[in-house]
Structure 1
Amino acid sequence: MKTKLVTPEGYKKLKDEHDHLWFEKRPEITKIVSWAASLGDRSENADYTYNKRLLRQIDRRVRYLRKLLPELKVVHYAPEQEGKVFFGAWVEIENEAGDTKRFRIVGPEEIYGDQKDCISIDSPMARALLKKEVDDVCTVTTPAGTRDWYINHIEYRQAFKQA
């Protein structure tokens, strides 16, 4: 089961997606479908068929978001988090070979789309890093095997901190 945590930015992005689909995109597509339906024969009407399918996709996503948003728990920054890896942290890690990775630990709903530098709190890497400090070693077990990673840096960016 997925964790129902989300950063404030992630929640806003999901809410904005819902609002865009419901208040802008859906009315626009509904007008096209109505216009295409008024032309008569729908069986060979590409505008009608394509936009009707698009409307179903929009409705499916809106239903999903309406069910999801109330279930999410928005996790705000807390000063007690400083110095340790918790939800919302930016972490830089390094392995024995000198390979480094930098990412933010976020909710599973936030890792899709343009989020290339985020990992889910449910991932083996994030679970192994939780509550660790700089210079700690964490062992991550994945299907590819077990690796040790050293924590170089932990950061909670100011822009994400709540005033």
Structure 2
Amino acid sequence: MDEAPITPAGYGALKARYNQLFSDERPKLVEVISWAAGNGDRSENGDYIYGRKKLREIDRELSHLSRRLKAVRVVDPAQQADHAKVWFGATVTIADEDDNQRVLTLVGEDEADASAGRISWRSPIARAMRGAAVGDLRRVELPAGAKEWEVLAIAYPA
């Protein structure tokens, strides 16, 4: 797997989630499981059964987060060499043929949230926008058909 780009904020959020699970939630759960195991019959012990199930879920998430933290490469959008073009971390204002405007920020897959305007760097619209300058027209193949977007503005964090 090639390294996936991620913003410093996105990396910080992944790391914070990992630390919270590993240092806070998991030890508390292990303590509850130990207490429940000491109460006798485990086959009918709801605290023990639920605790073991929850512990497996936490361990799966920790494993996933650990793999992601190793697979990403932190890229600071403010350090992009050419702020006149759309690259990773850019916030782009685009308009379609009907002058419907959208503001999108190109981020890593782990921090994408379409409802907040943060789209994956690898999404079709982001791939089409890469390298575009203000005034450029870009055609995007979408499931509903092709759509053309014009780049109206490009911004990077300070």
- Is contact 1:2–1:122 with CA below 8 Å preserved after alignment? no
Aligned length, in residue pairs: 157
Change (3 A) 1:79 1:119: closer
Tell me by how many angstroms 1:121 deviates.
0.8
TM-superposition CA deviations, 1:10-31 (whole Å, max 9, x none): 1111111111110011001111
Letter in 1 for 2:18: H
- Is contact 2:6–2:111 with CA below 8 Å preserved after alignment? yes
Once residues 3 and 136 of structure 1 are traced to their aligned partners in structure 2, the CA distance between those partners, rounded to angstroms, is 29
Tell me by how many angstroms 1:3 deviates.
5.8
What are the equivalent positions in structure 2 for 1:76-155 lying under 5 Å apart? 76=76, 77-111=78-112, 116-155=116-155
Normalised TM-score (structure 2): 0.91
- Is contact 2:2–2:71 with CA below 8 Å preserved after alignment? no
The aligned residue for residue 156 of structure 1 is 156
Q: What SS is found at the alignment partner of 1:41?
A: coil
- Is contact 2:134–2:154 with CA below 8 Å preserved after alignment? yes
Letter in 2 for 1:99: N
Once residues 104 and 88 of structure 1 are traced to their aligned partners in structure 2, the CA distance between those partners, rounded to angstroms, is 6
Percent pairwise identity: 38
- Is contact 1:6–1:72 with CA below 8 Å preserved after alignment? yes
Change (3 A) 1:43 1:81: farther
- Is contact 2:5–2:108 with CA below 8 Å preserved after alignment? yes
Once residues 152 and 51 of structure 1 are traced to their aligned partners in structure 2, the CA distance between those partners, rounded to angstroms, is 52
How much is the aligned-residue C-alpha RMSD, in angstroms?
Answer: 1.8
Q: What SS is found at the alignment partner of 1:80?
A: coil
Letter in 2 for 1:89: A
- Is contact 1:3–1:122 with CA below 8 Å preserved after alignment? no
Gaps of 5+ in 1: 159-163
TM-superposition CA deviations, 1:142-162 (whole Å, max 9, x none): 22110001111111022xxxx
